[in-house]
C-alpha cells in the first residue's frame, strides 16, 4: 500500500483564549516523504499534527488526504479515515495499567466490530498480528507485561507497534523522541524510518534536534509563531536559517 498524499491549504487555528497557533499554513507532503517539522516549543507543531486527524478542529482552511477533504468529513467517515493515520506521541500515551498486547491491539479498534471489542476479545489472527508488530519493533517477549513496567524507549516502540496495527498510510509523529535519551532516540527513529522506507508510509515527524532532522528527514518545514518560515530540504538549513527559525541567541546543539 502506497503512502498518502497530504495537502494543506490556508490552515488557521485560533484557540478560544486568542492564541493564533496556526496562521495560514499551506504545504504539500508527497507519498513516501519523511517530512520533518521543526520549530520552537509553542510554534504550532503539535497543533498542526492534531489538525490533520482532527483531534483538534481547525478554525479555517482545508486538509486533503489523497484528495479526500478530511476537514469536511462527517464523524463516521472521519473515524474510517483515522484508521489509516497512525499517531505517535511524545509521552507515548499508552494505557499504563493494560498489557503491552492490549495496547498494541487497541491500534486495530477502528476495524473490529464494537460489540466484540468491548469485551477485550480479539480474534486470534489479530493477536498474532499484534505479536508480529511487536517482533518488528524488537520486543515480542514483552507482550504480556504491563505497559508501565517498560522503559521509555520500549514504551515508544509499543506506540509504534500500535500504529503499525492500523496498517497506516500516514504516520503523524509528534516529537516521538523528545522524552528519550540520544541512543534510544536513534533506535526509535530507525523503526519509524523503516516504516517509511520499507512500507512507503508517508511520515510527518516533529523533531527538536537539527542533527536528527538532517539524518532522517527527506524534506523539512520550519514553523515559527504558527507560520511556515522555511520549506525545503534538511541540508539547506544553514546557520543563518537556523537563527531565523530559533531566534538570534540560539546555538545548535548536536545529538550524537
Partner 1 sequence: MANETLTRPVPPAIPRARVRPWTFFLMIVGLAAIYIYGWQVTQINLGELVTSTRLIRPLVRDLVRPDILARVPLRQEVRVPFSFTPEGAPPMPAPAADGPRIALSAPVGRPGQTVTVRGEGFAPGRPGQIIWTDQSGSSAPGEEFVTDGEGRFTVPVEVIDLIGQHHTLGVQVTLQGSALRPSSAFTLVLARLVETVFLALMGTTIAVLFAVPLSFLGAKNLMARTPVGAAVYVVVRTILNITRSIEPLIMATVFAVWVGIGPFAGVLALGLHSIASLGKLYSEQIESIDPGPIEAITATGASPLQVVRYAVVPQIVPPFIAFTIYRWDINVRMSTVIGMVGGGGVGFLLIQYINLLQWRQAATAVWGITIVVAAMDYFSAKVREKVV
Per CB under 8 A, does 110 bind partner 1? yes
Sign, Cα dihedral of 63, 65, 160, 166: positive
Q: Which stretch binds partner 1 (CB under 8 A): 19-27, 32-40, 58-66, 91-99?
A: 91-99
The answer to the question of residue 55 lying near partner 1 (CB under 8 A) is: yes
* Residues in contact with partner 1, shown as a per-residue x/- string from 147 to 166 under the rule CB under 8 A: ------------x--x---x
CB 38 within 8 A of CB 49: no
Q: Which residues pair with 223 in a beta bridge?
A: 228
Query: Three-class SS of residue 12?
Result: strand
SS3 helix, strand, coil % of the chain, rounded to 5? 40, 25, 35
Q: Is 106 in the site for partner 1 (CB under 8 A)?
A: yes
- DSSP SS3 for 18: coil
Q: Are strands 227-232 and 219-224 parallel, antiparallel or unpaired?
A: antiparallel
Question: From the list 12, 59, 98, 211, which residue makes contact with partner 1 (rule: CB under 8 A)?
Answer: 98
> Binding partner 1 by CB under 8 A: which of 53, 71, 155, 202?
53
Strand order, beta sheet including 20-29 = 20-29, 6-14, 60-65, 68-69
Using rule CB under 8 A, residue 133 touches partner 1: no
* 83 belongs to the binding site for partner 1 (CB under 8 A): yes
Q: For partner 1, give the closer residue by CB, 56 or 255.
A: 56
Q: How far apart are CA 190 and CA 196, in angstroms?
A: 10
Instruction: Specify the residue, 18 or 115, whose C-beta has the smaller distance to partner 1.
Output: 115
Cell of 195: 516504516
CB of 48 to partner 1, least distance (A): 14
Binding to partner 1 by residue 201, rule CB under 8 A? no
Asked if 99 and 145 touch (Cβ cutoff 8 Å), the reply is yes
- Nearest approach in angstroms of CB 150 to partner 1 is 15
Complex with partner 1: residue 178 or 255, whichever CB lies closer: 178
Q: Which residue among 34, 89, 191, 216 contacts partner 1 (CB under 8 A)?
A: 89
- The Cα–Cα gap between 230 and 222 comes to 5
Residue 109 interacts with partner 1 (CB under 8 A): yes or no: yes
Nearer to partner 1, 104 or 228 (CB): 104
Q: Dihedral (C-alpha) 199, 181, 241, 33: value to the nearest 10 degrees?
A: 0
The span from the CA of 132 to the CA of 118, in Å, is: 23
Q: How far is the CB of 7 from partner 1 (least distance, A)?
A: 20
Q: Which of 45, 82, 142, 208 binds partner 1 (CB under 8 A)?
A: 82
Q: Catalog residues that contact partner 1 under the rule CB under 8 A.
A: 53, 55, 79-83, 85-87, 89, 91-98, 102, 106-111, 114, 117-118, 120, 159, 162, 166, 172
Amino acid at each position: 500500500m502506497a503512502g498518502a498524499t497530504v495537502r494543506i491549504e490556508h490552515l488557521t487555528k485560533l484557540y478560544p483564549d486568542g492564541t493564533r497557533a496556526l496562521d495560514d499554513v499551506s504545504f504539500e507532503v508527497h507519498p513516501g516523504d519523511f517530512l520533518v517539522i521543526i520549530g520552537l516549543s509553542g510554534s504550532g507543531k503539535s497543533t498542526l499534527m492534531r489538525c490533520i486527524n482532527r483531534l483538534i478542529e481547525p478554525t479555517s482552511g482545508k486538509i486533503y488526504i489523497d484528495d479526500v477533504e478530511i476537514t469536511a468529513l462527517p464523524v463516521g467517515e472521519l473515524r474510517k479515515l483515522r484508521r489509516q493515520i497512525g499517531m505517535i506521541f511524545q509521552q507515548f500515551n499508552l494505557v499504563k495499567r493494560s498489557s503491552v498486547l492490549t495496547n498494541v491491539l487497541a491500534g486495530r479498534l477502528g476495524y473490529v466490530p464494537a460489540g466484540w471489542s468491548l469485551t477485550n476479545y480479539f480474534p486470534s489472527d489479530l493477536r498474532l498480528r499484534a505479536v508480529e508488530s511487536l517482533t518488528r519493533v524488537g520486543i515480542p517477549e514483552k507482550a504480556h507485561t504491563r505497559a508501565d513496567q517498560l522503559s521509555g524507549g520500549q514504551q515508544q516502540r509499543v506506540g509504534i507497534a500500535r500504529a503499525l496495527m492500523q496498517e497506516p498510510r500516514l504516520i503523524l509523529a509528534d516529537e516521538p523522541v523528545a522524552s528519550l535519551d540520544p541512543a534510544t532516540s536513534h533506535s526509535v527513529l530507525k523503526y519509524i524510518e523503516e516504516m517509511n522506507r520499507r512500507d512507503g508510509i508517508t511520515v510527518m515527524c516533529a523533531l527538536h534536534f537539527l542533527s536528527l532532522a538532517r539524518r532522517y528527514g527527506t524534506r523539512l518545514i520550519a514553523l515559527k509563531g504558527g507560520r511556515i518560515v522555511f520549506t525545503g530540504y534538511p541540508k539547506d538549513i544553514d546557520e543563518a536559517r537556523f537563527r531565523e527559525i530559533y531566534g538570534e541567541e540560539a546555538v545548535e546543539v548536536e545529538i550524537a
